[in-house]
Structure 1
Amino acid sequence: AQMFGLHWDTVRLLERRALQAALSDLPKAQPRRLVMDEFALFKGHRYASVVLDADTRRVLWIGEGRSRAAVRPFFEELGPEGCARIEAVAMDMNTAFDLEVRQHCPNARVVYDLFHVVAKYGREVIDRVRVDEANRLRHDKPARQVIKQARWLLLRNPQNLKTPEQQVRLEDLLAANHALMKVYLMKTELKTLWTPSTAWGWRSAWKQWLRHAHESEIPALIQFAKRLKSYWRGIVSRVRWPMHTGQLEGI
């Protein structure tokens, strides 16, 4: 705008026309596998949603909001024939996305992304147990301080620890606290639910994970397992459709 002495609104209008002209030459998308995710706008509490063709990595649609009403225009634009063509959709455990896919795409299987589930487990189970254990040890100040400062160690993947000293600190912490050891190991087992080669193998691992969770006597873990049970179809779909929302990174 400064270079050509134009008003900013004029530049935006010209840019929009140029984009419309460029997009009009693109062939009509006929996706079969989709990736859906949400992202924050301007680091605030406003969100937008994005839909990607998993096979061509082409962004098909972006809209403000993350509710059912917010993403519904995409499926309406895709139309009944296009929706019927969809075979699988990768997403996090966003109920709004899930319900819209089930309503509009009768042949699609929802595939839940491992990263989002593990991140949710970290927040709702590992960090909750860490806080509970710190409170339990409030009269043992040295032990309490160690646990309070261990959030980063517990939530990071072991392979991402930067030094041998950090690995030793983590091992010592887990060896000294049974509850933290249990939920940490259960996170590792949770990840294996996304790697079986057959549905039968997944079913066996799933039942074992749920049993271990309920036998743990750790309230946060038991509650998480109960909620996760309602999402089992989206987890087992990973066996046939090895998809994830990581495809959106860098786009």
Structure 2
Amino acid sequence: MNANLSSLFWEGFTVDSFTHSAPDALLITLRPDPGFAPSCRRCGCSDCAVHDVSVRRVRERDLLHWRVTLQLPVRRLRCFRCGIVTESISWLPERQRYTSSLATWVESLTRLLPVKHVAQLTGLHWHTIKNIDYRRMLRELREPERHTVRRLMLDEFALFKGHRYATVVVDADTQQVLWVGEGRSRVAFRPFFTWLGSEGCAAIESVAMDMNTALDLEVREQCPQAEVVYDLFHVVAKFGREVIDRVRVDQANQLRDNKKARKVIKRSRWLLLRNPENLPEGHEVKLAELLEANQPLNTVYVMKSALKELWYAPDKKVAQRRWNEWYRQSQESGIKALQQFAEKLKGYMSGIIASATHRLNTSVLEGMNNRIKVIKRMAYGYRDNDYFFMKIKAAFPGKAR
């Protein structure tokens, strides 16, 4: 390799020798280019004396099937401005054991593949891949504009098995993730408001969340002027778990002597929980037959549809009227699980009625939560929560206002 070509790849150095250290490994030894004056890494001054020299080995990007390692002398210079300092090498990041071209290659891979797979492909350590990707995201992510945030969406997701959770805060207008923190308590959530600042807290108009009392109380304390809006998806999902599932199991237990009918009801969970428009072809008939044959299941299924209508009321007055009617019907149904759910929901009605004024798209929030689960699953879990949270922010950089 001639001097011009080696300078194109490794500015300031020329190739001294090649060595096949293994069948699939190539060691390239470099020496300083006598026509290139070393410069100070801090101030850029090139009028420096060499203080000492150390030999360093660094990984370069693979060449065909060879793993390439560079061996080069790195000089410490005596700069009259900065003192003793390492020379500036344009293609070698400071204090790293890999070249800039290798880092660029790894960055392109981590956009598409899990860290574990990139580590296997490149032969680099998991933490090295993580650090390269983390620096890329720090460089590319834009700082949220705190003073323009007016509407928030809050959600929580499981970090690991064993009831460990994290809370994510999203700008409802730009869909940018503003903050992610471990835990779902008031104390865990409070650093977000510290980051937002007093002026930012005062500008918040509405906050969408599930029925988490801790987050609710913290929002009301930090942003007393904001209206809390409870998330449609979470309330309906809770209705499915606490009412529909309970009634389905009770009805199945009453049919112990009729194994065929009991089997139909036991296997009807997703038929009852899915929205009618999402049912596979032909399942509408099965659902109609099931509801016609079982009055309690028919009642709670209809009440689920009526519950959703609370979020689509044109104003608060209509929303209140719909709630009053829904609550009355639940108490007259004679279904214990439905009555108990309605009693619990009564304490959260202000946050449901607020949706008539503050239209927050809850499907966006749930879609983002599903994407977070995919990010976590692709990595087979993350060893570093800060890195995981940064991946979430990078996945939702937001859109222009």
Q: TM-score by structure 1 length?
A: 0.91
- Aligned partners of 1:104, 1:2: CA distance in 2, in Å? 51
* Aligned counterpart in structure 1 of residue 319 of structure 2, from 192, 202, 206: 202
Equivalent pair of 1:88/1:110 in contact (CA under 8 Å):
yes
Instruction: In structure 2, give the amino acid aligned to 1:193.
Output: L
- Larger of the two Rg values belongs to structure: 2
RMSD: 2.1
Equivalent pair of 1:91/1:244 in contact (CA under 8 Å):
no
- Aligned partners of 1:185, 1:27: CA distance in 2, in Å? 43
Q: TM-score by structure 2 length?
A: 0.58
Instruction: In structure 2, give the amino acid aligned to 1:202.
Output: A
For residue 176 of structure 1, what is the aligned residue in structure 2?
293
Alpha-carbon distance, 1:10 to partner: 4.8
Instruction: In structure 2, give the amino acid aligned to 1:48.
Output: A
If asked which structure has higher relative contact order (CA below 8 Å, sep 6+), I would say: 1
Q: Secondary structure at the match of 1:49?
A: strand
* Aligned counterpart in structure 1 of residue 195 of structure 2, from 77, 85, 101: 77
- Aligned partners of 1:43, 1:27: CA distance in 2, in Å? 31
C-alpha deviations, 1:64-90, integer Å up to 9, x for none?
A: 112222111101221222111110001
Q: Secondary structure at the match of 2:184?
A: coil
- Aligned partners of 1:134, 1:19: CA distance in 2, in Å? 52
Listed as ranges, the gaps of 5+ residues in structure 2 are 1-58, 62-97, 99-122, 369-395, 397-401
For residue 193 of structure 1, what is the aligned residue in structure 2?
310
Alpha-carbon distance, 1:6 to partner: 6.0
- Aligned partners of 1:71, 1:246: CA distance in 2, in Å? 23
- Aligned partners of 1:143, 1:7: CA distance in 2, in Å? 57
For residue 51 of structure 1, what is the aligned residue in structure 2?
169
For residue 243 of structure 1, what is the aligned residue in structure 2?
360
Equivalent pair of 1:63/1:70 in contact (CA under 8 Å):
yes
Are residue 130 (structure 1) and residue 248 (structure 2) matched? yes
Instruction: In structure 1, give the amino acid aligned to 2:288.
Output: E
Listed as ranges, the gaps of 5+ residues in structure 1 are none
CA gap 1:140/1:89 in 2 versus in 1, 3 angstroms:
same
Are residue 89 (structure 1) and residue 214 (structure 2) matched? no
Instruction: In structure 2, give the amino acid aligned to 1:78.
Output: L
CA gap 1:13/1:140 in 2 versus in 1, 3 angstroms:
closer
C-alpha deviations, 1:79-109, integer Å up to 9, x for none?
A: 2221111100011111221111011101110
- Aligned partners of 1:41, 1:55: CA distance in 2, in Å? 26
Q: When you count helix as a share of all residues, which structure comes out higher?
A: 1
Are residue 225 (structure 1) and residue 342 (structure 2) matched? yes
For residue 33 of structure 1, what is the aligned residue in structure 2?
151
- Aligned partners of 2:183, 2:60: CA distance in 1, in Å? 33
Equivalent pair of 1:90/1:244 in contact (CA under 8 Å):
no
For residue 215 of structure 1, what is the aligned residue in structure 2?
332
CA gap 1:17/1:169 in 2 versus in 1, 3 angstroms:
closer
- Aligned partners of 1:15, 1:137: CA distance in 2, in Å? 57
Equivalent pair of 1:36/1:245 in contact (CA under 8 Å):
no
What's the % identity of the aligned pairs?
Answer: 57
- Aligned partners of 2:196, 2:362: CA distance in 1, in Å? 20
